[in-house]
Amino acid sequence: MKKSEIKVIVLTGDGINCETETAGAFRDEGVSATIMHIQDLIDNPKVLETAHILALPGGFSFGDEIGSGQILALKLKYSLGVELKKFVDDKKLVIGICNGFQALVRLGLLPKPFEARTMTLTHNRQGHFIDLWVELNVGESCCVWTKTLQQKSISLPIRHGEGKIVFAGNSANQMAIYETILSGGQVALTYNEDVNGSYQKIAGVCDPTGRIFGLMPHPEAAVSNWLNPDAKSKNGSAGIGAEFFKNGINYCEAHF
């Protein structure tokens, strides 16, 4: 498939506030990215059939009432559940950033689609919102979105209040779940330091196929080196965040 033929849907809705940057990151790589309100997608679900990538951006969907991403996840599950399952079964790509990651987890697409939930994201160990740039390790994984970044150290911004990943059950069960996703190549991104209490410093997780990816850092806020916090590193080159979007697009070019 030609790059110009690839179609991306970037969800928006009450409280989502990173849709413009996320769509821009895709458009910078030469693909069509349409920002679509969740209600418009619910009213026109067949739009998903023509898309290749679904992106859930960051923000505070529905004011994070009853938990970050919870209402967004419920709307997707009960209004678009059948269409989303077909989208996933058709081996298309999904990315959820920050609030979008929280929604994917609560929707049941991560860490393994359409199975009983074993993971969630909760309040940072500090008990308050965090907004800073962090150092990350990109691990060896099956993740489509991090393909060109694996085994590298990178910097990205985070801005969240509920980014702490926890697993279900007692400590033994939690370790078993972690070891399962680790051995399956699903731990795609980790913090260099414990920034929010996330289990084993996890910052991003993909599903067993590597096509569904959720991460708390914001790659769309690092697509240009002009966005770097260090004045010495500012220049007109593409930033490290652009690699995530390039990798998703490269997959579509090769597989559709």
Rounded to 10 degrees, the C-alpha dihedral 61/59/148/47 comes to 40
Q: Which of 98, 143, 206, 252 is catalytic?
A: 98
pLDDT at 90: 97
Q: Which of 52, 143, 218, 243 is catalytic?
A: 218
Question: Is a pLDDT exceeding 90 seen at residue 65?
Answer: no
Taking the C-alpha atoms of residue 199 and residue 2, their distance in angstroms, rounded to an integer, is 40
Question: Is a pLDDT exceeding 70 seen at residue 86?
Answer: yes
pLDDT at 247: 98
pLDDT at 71: 87
pLDDT grade for 242, boundaries at 50, 70 and 90: very high
- Is residue 37 part of the annotated active site? The answer reads no
Q: What's the one-letter identity of residue 41?
A: L
- Reported as a single tens digit per residue, the pLDDT across 192-225 is 999 999 999 999 999 999 999 999 999 999 999 9
Q: Are strands 7-12 and 32-37 parallel, antiparallel or unpaired?
A: parallel
pLDDT at 70: 86
- Is residue 123 part of the annotated active site? The answer reads no
Q: Across residues 135-142, what is the average pLDDT? A: 97
Mean pLDDT of the chain: 95
Which H or E run includes 138? strand 130-138
Q: Is 204 left (phi over 0), alpha (psi -120 to 50) or beta?
A: beta
Question: Is a pLDDT exceeding 70 seen at residue 66?
Answer: no
Residue-range domain boundaries for the chain: 3-255
Taking the C-alpha atoms of residue 127 and residue 222, their distance in angstroms, rounded to an integer, is 26
Taking the C-alpha atoms of residue 235 and residue 221, their distance in angstroms, rounded to an integer, is 15
Q: Across residues 35-58, what is the average pLDDT? A: 97
pLDDT at 230: 87
- Is residue 135 part of the annotated active site? The answer reads no
Measure CA of the first residue to CA of the last residue in the chain; give whole Å: 5
Q: Which of 162, 220, 243, 252 is catalytic?
A: 220
User: What is the assigned CATH class of domain 3-255?
Assistant: alpha beta
Question: Is a pLDDT exceeding 90 seen at residue 231?
Answer: no
Question: Is a pLDDT exceeding 90 seen at residue 147?
Answer: yes
Tell me the three state secondary structure of residue 40: helix
> Between the CA of residue 225 and those of 20, 31, 64, 239, what are the distances in Å?
18, 21, 31, 5
Proportion of the chain above pLDDT 90, given as a percent: 92
Please tell me the pTM assigned to this model.
0.96
pLDDT at 175: 98
- Reported as a single tens digit per residue, the pLDDT across 15-32 is 999 999 999 999 999 999
pLDDT at 232: 86
